Amino acid sequence: MQNHPSFAFFPMLLHLLIITLFAPKRTLALEPACRTKCGQLEVKYPLGTGKGCGSPRFHPYVTCAPGADQLLLTTHTGSYPITSISYTTSTLTITPSSMSTCTAMLPSISNLGLDWASPFQLGPSTFILLSCEPPTSSLIVNGTPICAPSTPFLCASIYTCPAVTALGLPLFPATNTCCVYSPANLGGEGELDLGELKCSGYASVVSLGDVATDPSGWQYGVEVKYTEGGLGSYDIAPECHACEMSGGVCGYAPPGNFFVCVCKSGYNTSTDCNNYDPDQAFLLSSTYQSTWEVGLGLLASLIFWAAA
């Protein structure tokens, strides 16, 4: 008597099904592991290089651009390169492509803004609005004049840069088309709207360097502060410190966003990279979901063969 094919495959399919569904999940992550550096910048909690890295409040605002190896801050007005980070003061510096400097001035075609729901706020940057329609005393934000009369030397200094001609201004133009602005925020819409202010461009200075009247030595950029608190926040300081000390990167696992330590081996753990059971490790990828999809496929095949 010839055996039915289903009986020949039944034990094998049952064995594969049990292994697939119940074997420890020790597969390597499908997504790239979280990184400690992006370009030349060190990336630490609460910042991260991608989804599942750092604090969930900072993704998708801060990411490491693939290929370019550039850390970016993304808001509703654009993506801005991050050029420096201070974890001591919880600040970072961005350099918008439309921002003018002493060597490169250009009309700004887009607003600069931060998202209200994000953990970022404007830091103590000094904006210099360039090529504005006079009189600059008419420039107001929320009904308040914004030009600071105490720092006129900033306008006089930056207007000595030969690059001002790119804004349609002559070299050494009158400073009555320039406005020094140190905002606490970016207006009601959370944006620096040059079109509304009737200015062609802007520079932002975070440091005047050794000589305050030498714009070629200024440090240009927009300083942004960040906070770790807020809705859905959690205190992971003890776990994160142990994770980083073990060579891991602090991260989280959606959808619950609970803490995980992302290890160089490709495993993620709820403790640290020195003290964990590989059989209990899990991954920040679709591995677990895919495993169950494979298991359901095997189960369907098992039923098919049994019915054949």
Q: Which span out of 158-167, 183-192, 291-300 was modeled with the highest average pLDDT?
A: 158-167
The whole domain housing 56 covers: 30-88+230-274
254 domain residue, yes or no: yes
181 domain residue, yes or no: yes
* Lowest-confidence segment of 22-26, 140-144, 189-193 by average pLDDT: 22-26
Mean pLDDT, to the nearest integer, of 166-194? 86
Same-domain check for residues 120 and 207: yes
12 domain residue, yes or no: no
280 domain residue, yes or no: no
22 domain residue, yes or no: no
Same-domain check for residues 194 and 131: yes
Same-domain check for residues 80 and 158: no
Same-domain check for residues 66 and 151: no
SS (H, E, C) 198-217: CEEEEEEEEECCCCCCCHHH
Number of domains in the chain: 2
Q: Is the dihedral of CA 135, 137, 140, 143 positive or negative?
A: negative
Same-domain check for residues 117 and 213: yes
Q: Which pLDDT belongs to residue 236?
A: 64
Same-domain check for residues 151 and 188: yes
Predicted confidence band of residue 306 (pLDDT cuts 50, 70, 90): low
Strands 78-86 and 91-94: antiparallel
56 domain residue, yes or no: yes
- The sheet carrying 258-262 orders its strands as 249-253, 258-262, 268-269
Same-domain check for residues 165 and 204: yes
Same-domain check for residues 220 and 234: no
Same-domain check for residues 235 and 212: no
CA 295, CA 275: separation in Å to the nearest integer? 30
Same-domain check for residues 204 and 235: no
Mean pLDDT, to the nearest integer, of 128-157? 89
The amino acid occupying position 278 is P
Predicted confidence band of residue 189 (pLDDT cuts 50, 70, 90): low
Q: Which span out of 21-35, 148-162, 179-193, 198-212 was modeled with the highest average pLDDT?
A: 198-212
300 domain residue, yes or no: no
Same-domain check for residues 48 and 137: no
Same-domain check for residues 260 and 218: no
Please determine, for residue 179, whether its predicted confidence score (pLDDT) is greater than 80: yes
pTM metric for this prediction: 0.77
281 domain residue, yes or no: no
